[in-house]
Amino acid sequence: MTSYQFAAIRYAAIVAFGGFIFGLDAALISGVVRDITEVFDLSAFQVGLVVGSPGYGVLFALFLAGYLADKLGRKKTLQIIASLYVVSAVASAIAPSYETLVAARFLGGLAFTSLSLASMYIGEIAPPKARGKLVAMNQMAIVVGLSAAYLSVFAVHWISELQLSWVSALMIDTQTWRWMLGVEILPALIWVLLLFSIPESPRWLVLRGRIDEAEAVMAKLVPPAELALEMQGVRESSAHGHKNHSVWHQLQDLFSPNVRKALIIAVVIAFFQQTVGINAVMFYAPIIFEQVGLGTNAALFNGVYIGLISVLATALALALIDKLGRRALIIVGLVVAGVSLLSCAWAFSQATYGLTGETLASLAEHLDVSSLQALQGVTFDSDLSFKAALVEQLGPKVARDNEAVLFQYAANMNATVILFGVLAFIAAFQFSIGPVMWVLFSELFPIHVRSVAIPAMALVASIVSAMVQQLFPIQLEVMGSSGVFFTYGVSAVLALILLAWLMPETKGKSIEEIEQMLAAK
């Protein structure tokens, strides 16, 4: 490995560490949904708001992200984002009420723009032949963060059940969910410090007319023999479009005929990346596994498998993205995702639910079952009808608070198909549309519109993501598990059809070559 390759990898790894923080922030909430629902007595809408509030925060921030990245530079904007993660993590862990928890997580959502800024920065410093791997490092960091979050949630939950004095002294047994959310604080602080060691993007420096500084940074990234040619290409690309690189003029250029093809592809992938339901599955994983009848402890532990599968699938994508190309990964991944999601929908549709005398005796250890005697021997053919009967007999709060254990004893379904389907879907997503979307964002758009285009596409993905997260608890109440997974499966099939038709191959091409290729179509 040359010093130039090492420099590019080091800078990309530091910026991609923000993806690790994002993964932690996003997935830690999965372990506390049940606790905060009971502590703050939340409705389905309120649960969705707590989980989805970062998605609303990022909607607001993305309107400013492009402006700040353009005016302050990529580096300073990333440093602001990292600081927001720290403040949000502390505020979430100490939140005294539902409203303050939502506000703290909304603040963390402002920092979710790190994904689009990281993609932008890494795409601008990476050599063409390694850009796919380096940009996909951001996705690898995300899934490692997700894995660390699931493992942390399970570890904190396990510690909270230990009958030890120091556990009680630190209130881990009584304030378990606060400790789970507090896991993020230290990594966020580390990222703030690491960002001081990266240079500014050379392509942004060229846009600002700071040519000497751009050459000094580029000299760290490419050999002397290639420096003049690389700088010439950057200058030519930055000169395209309006000479005035304001946000308004970048928006005008974004809808110009030469950029239109790139815009259509990016919007399609940004929309469908979220409608397949990845964030619902990842952020509500324990709730989904409880619907299968696993119980709380097993549901939390299965989150660890989700993290492990995510890491392995993303590592495979990282190894293959610059060999097989972006298009092949997308097509293979969406085929597997569609089959997996529709298999889950079928398995849930075949499930039945019922309480016997034996199961009622076992449930008596957890709650008063006298009200459930009327349900003994009755078989329900859907989770919706079973939940409705539980609410009628126990009342909404008792039924909700004990849903995990009730499903554990009452559910009768092909759990293997569902568990395998969920894990296969996650593997397919992390192998394909997960990392490939950010790689494409870093490649498709010319330099003169990137500070608007990439945050704008992240905005599209974030709007859809926020809706998916907000609606999942409500969909679960209205459509049942089968209906929810069916809609996600249909979305994966539509994504496959559209992207197979629209998406060209971009591997091994410079940003400038991709610009010319798409402008010609």
Average pLDDT value for residue range 174-201: 92
Residues 169-193, mean pLDDT to the nearest whole number: 91
Same domain, 366 and 329: no
- Final residue of a domain: which of 412, 434, 459? 412
The answer on 168 and 90 residing in a single domain is yes
Lowest mean pLDDT among 289-293, 299-303, 474-478: 299-303
Phi and psi at residue 370, to the nearest 5°: -60, -35
Is 233 contained in some domain? no
Task: Assess whether 161 and 278 both reside in one domain.
Answer: yes
Asked which of 396, 412, 428 is the last residue of a domain, the reply is 412
Lowest mean pLDDT among 201-210, 346-355, 493-502, 503-512: 503-512
For residues 467 and 157, give the distance between their C-alpha atoms in angstroms, rounded to a whole number: 29
Which among 143, 488, 503 is positioned nearest to 339, based on CA atoms? 488
Give me the pLDDT at residue 456, please.
79
User: What's residue 488's pLDDT?
Assistant: 94
User: Would residue 213 count as lying in a domain?
Assistant: no
Q: Are residues 36 and 177 in the same domain?
A: yes
346: confidence class by pLDDT, cuts 50, 70, 90? very high
Q: Compute the distance between CA of residue 134 and CA of residue 356 in angstroms, rounded to an integer.
A: 56
Highest mean pLDDT among 90-94, 131-135, 229-233, 498-502: 90-94
| 396 plus 478 within the same structural domain | no
Largest CA-CA distance found in the chain, in angstroms, rounded:
82
Asked whether residue 204 is assigned to any structural domain, the reply reads no
Is 227 a member of any domain? no
pLDDT of residue 243: 47
Residue 235, SS3? Answer: helix
Residues 273 and 357 in one domain: no
**Over 90: is that where the pLDDT of 340 sits?**
yes
* Domain assignment present for 223: no
CATH number at residue 314: 1.20.1250.20
pLDDT in tens, 9-62: 888 889 989 889 988 887 788 778 878 888 888 887 888 888 878 877 877 776
- Specify the pairing of strand 411-412 against strand 379-380: unpaired
What Å distances lie between residue 498 and 260, 272, 288, 428, 443, CA to CA?
16, 10, 29, 18, 19
Residue 495 tokens read as 């994504």
Q: Is the pLDDT of residue 287 over 90?
A: no
Query: Is residue 258 in a domain?
Result: yes
Q: In terms of domains, do 367 and 244 share one?
A: no
- Give me the number of domains the chain comprises: 2
Tally the C-alpha atoms within 13 A of residue 94's C-alpha that lie toward its C-beta.
Answer: 6
For residue 354, list its beta bridge partners. 379
Give the separation between CA 458 and CA 204, rounded to whole angstroms. 19
Which residues does 249 contact at the CB level (< 8 Å), separation at least 6? 241, 242
Distance CA 51, CA 367 (A): 28
Q: What is the pLDDT of residue 101?
A: 93
- The predicted-structure confidence for 228-269, as pLDDT tens digits, reads as follows 766 666 666 555 544 455 556 666 666 677 777 888 888 898
Could you tell me if residue 205 is inside a domain? no
pLDDT of residue 334: 94
When mean pLDDT is compared across 71-80, 245-254, 267-276, 418-427, the lowest value belongs to: 245-254
Question: What beta strand segments (E) does 348-418 contain?
Answer: 352-354, 379-380, 411-412
Other Cβ atoms within 10 Å of 377 Cβ, number: 10
For residue 305, is pLDDT > 80?
no
Q: Average pLDDT in the 487-516 region? A: 83
* Residue 1 burial class via C-beta count within 10 angstroms: exposed 0-12, middle 13-18, buried 19 and up: exposed
Handedness of CA 53, 262, 332, 132 (dihedral sign): negative
What pLDDT is stored for residue 239 in this prediction? 55
Q: Are residues 142 and 56 in the same domain?
A: yes
Predicted confidence at residue 416, as pLDDT, reads 84
> Are both 190 and 66 inside the same structural domain?
yes
In whole angstroms, give the CA distance from residue 280 to residue 211: 45
Structure tokens at 42: 């939340």
pLDDT digits 0-9 by tens, 308-317: 888 888 888 8
Crossing angle of helices 403-410 and 285-292, in 10° steps, is: 40
DSSP code of residue 161: T
At 228, list the tokens: 């003049």
pLDDT surpasses 50 at 179: yes
Of the chain, the percentage scoring pLDDT greater than 70 comes to 87
Q: How far apart are CA 261 and CA 375, in angstroms?
A: 58
Q: Are residues 421 and 408 in the same domain?
A: no
User: Taking residues 186-197, what's their average pLDDT?
Assistant: 94
Tokens of 113: 């723009």
H/E stretch holding 41 reads: none
Q: Output the pLDDT for position 493.
A: 95
Neighbours of 99 (CB within 10 A): 11
Query: Is residue 67 in a domain?
Result: yes
Based on the domain organization, do 34 and 60 belong to the same domain? yes
Q: Which one, of 223, 221, 217, 191, lies nearest residue 204 by Cα?
A: 217
Are residues 255 and 267 in contact, defined by beta-carbon separation less than 8 angstroms? no
Q: How far apart are CA 218 and CA 448, in angstroms?
A: 18
Which of these three, 365, 394, 412, is where a domain ends?
Answer: 412
Angle between helices 3-28 and 114-125 (to 10 degrees): 170
Q: Is the pLDDT of residue 323 over 60?
A: yes
Structural domain for 369, as ranges: 352-412
Please check whether residues 293 and 278 belong to one and the same domain: yes
Class of residue 174 by CB neighbours under 10 A (exposed 0-12, middle 13-18, buried 19+): exposed
